[in-house]
A = this chain, B = another copy of it.
C-alpha cells in the first residue's frame, strides 16, 4: 500500500504557503484512493481548504476524492456546500456511486440534488434509490451493454466501442424481444468468432443472475462462488435492469466481513466513521447492558449461595476459571457458526451437524481441562478428592453448555431473521456466566457440603 506521509506533508506545506496553483497541480496527479487516505490524516480545516481548492479547480479529482473517502469525512466535506456545487462534483461519478452518496445526504437536499443533475443521470440514480439499502438494486449500475439476440458480432463490437460506460465492460449481455435476459458472452469471446455471427449462436445461455431485492451479501456469495466479474440483476419477469460489477462486490465482501467482526464483539461498524468517543460509547452501551444485567443476576445468584461460600470460601477461587473457559469455548462455537452462515459454508440444513460437533469438541476439551482442574483443585481447596471431582465436573458442565449456547444462538437469530452476528459474543459470555455459576454451585453444594 502506498505510503501517503509525504503527500500529507506536502499538502500541509503548500496550504500554509497559500500555493493554491501548485497544490492543485499536485493533487490532480494523485490517485483518488491515495488522496482519500491522505485526507484522513489532514486536520479538519486543512481538509476543507484543500477540498475547496479541488472543487473550484478540478472537478474530476474532487469527484474521485468524494467517492473514495469515508462517508463521515464525506459528510464533513460536503457540509455547507451549496447543492449546486455538490451536484457539479457528483456529476462525474457513475450512477451507483452517485446513488450511494445522494442516499447519505439530508432528505431536503436529496430532491434538490437529483433535480440539479442532468436529466438522464438523475433518472438512473432515482431508479436505484427506489430499492432498499444493501440490496442488489441499490448497488447495481444501469450502464451496461445489452443487445438483442439477432445482433451480429461486428455490430456488438461497434456497440462496445460506443458504450460510454467505460472501464468496466467485460461481458456483453443478450436480451430477447421482451428485454428478458437470455445470454451472456465475454468481450474476448466476441473477438474470436466470425464478425457475421448473430449473438444468439455464440452466447452462453447458462446465465447466473440475481433479483433486484436480493441481499447484497448473497450477491457477493454468488459472485465469489461462480467467479463472476459482474452479476446481472433482473426483475420478477427476468427483464435485465442492471449489473453489479466486481469492484462493488469486493467492497461489499469487505464491509460485510468487517460488520460481522464488529457485531460479534458487540458494537457496530458505524463506529469506524464516528471519530468521537461519545458516539462510539453510545453504540456499545446497549450491548454492554446485556452483559451488565447478566452480571447483576450473577451477583444475586452467588449471594443466594452465600451460606455455602461462607463454609468454604475457597470455592470462590474457581469462579473465574469455570466462567472464563466456558466463555472462550462458547465464543469459538459462536464464531464458527456466524462465519459459516455468512459465507454460506454452513447451510441451514447443516447447522444441527455443526452444533453436535461443537458439543462433542467441548465434551472432549472439558474432560481434559476438567481433569486437570480437578487435580489442581485438591491441594488448593484442601478438602479431599470429592472437592476436586466436583470442581472438575463443573468445568466440564460449563464448557459443554457454553458450546451449546454459542453454536445455537446464531442459528436462532437467523431463523428469526436477525443477523446471526448481532452481539453474539456479549450474549454468549453472559449466558455462559449464569449457566456456569449454576453448574458450579449446584455440583459444589451437592458433593462438597451436602447442601
User: Which residues of A does B touch, CB under 8 Å?
Assistant: 1, 5, 31, 33, 41, 157, 160-161, 166-167, 169-170, 186-188, 191-192, 206, 218, 221-227, 229, 246-247, 249-251, 253-254, 257-258, 260-262, 264-267, 271-272, 277-278, 280-281, 284-285, 288, 291-292, 294-296, 298-300, 302-303, 306, 309-310, 313-314, 316-325, 327-329, 331-332, 334-336, 338-339, 343-345, 349-350, 357, 360-361, 364-365, 368-369, 372-373, 376-377, 380, 425-426, 429-430, 433, 437
Contact = CB atoms under 8 A, between A and B. Distances in A.
A116 to B, nearest CB: 27
A364 to B, nearest CB: 5
A278 B324 contact: no
B429 A278 contact: no
Nearest to A261: B339
Given A266-B328, A324-B291, A224 B246 contact: no
A285 B368 contact: yes
A277 B328 contact: no
A118 to B, nearest CB: 23
19 contacts: A161-B192, A170-B188, A187-B191, A254-B343, A258-B343, A261-B338, A262-B339, A265-B331, A265-B336, A277-B361, A291-B328, A295-B325, A296-B321, A302-B320, A303-B317, A319-B319, A323-B323, A327-B327, A327-B429
Nearest to A307: B313
B31 A226 contact: yes
B331 A170 contact: no
A157 B191 contact: yes
A299 B317 contact: yes
Given A257-B257, A261-B338, A284-B329, 17 more contacts: A5-B349, A223-B250, A262-B339, A265-B334, A266-B328, A267-B332, A267-B336, A278-B364, A288-B365, A294-B321, A299-B380, A300-B380, A302-B319, A316-B316, A320-B437, A324-B430, A328-B426
Contacts of A323: 320, 323-324
Nearest to A436: B320
A357 B283 CA distance: 14
Nearest to A265: B335
Contacts of A336: 262, 265, 267, 271
List 7 A-B pairs, minimum CB-CB distance, nearest first.
Answer: A295-B321, A299-B317, A265-B335, A227-B247, A298-B320, A257-B257, A316-B316
A439 to B, nearest CB: 13
B329 A288 contact: yes
Nearest to A191: B161
Nearest to A346: B272
A40 to B, nearest CB: 8
Contacts of A31: 206, 226
A191 B267 contact: no
Contact of A250 (B253, B292, B296, B321): B253
Contacts of A284: 329, 332, 361, 365
A321 to B, nearest CB: 3
Nearest to A425: B331
A405 to B, nearest CB: 15
A433 B320 CA distance: 7
A319 B284 CA distance: 22
Considering residues A226, A249, A251, which has the most beta carbons from chain B within 10 angstroms of its beta carbon? A226
B277 A251 contact: no
Contacts of A5: 349
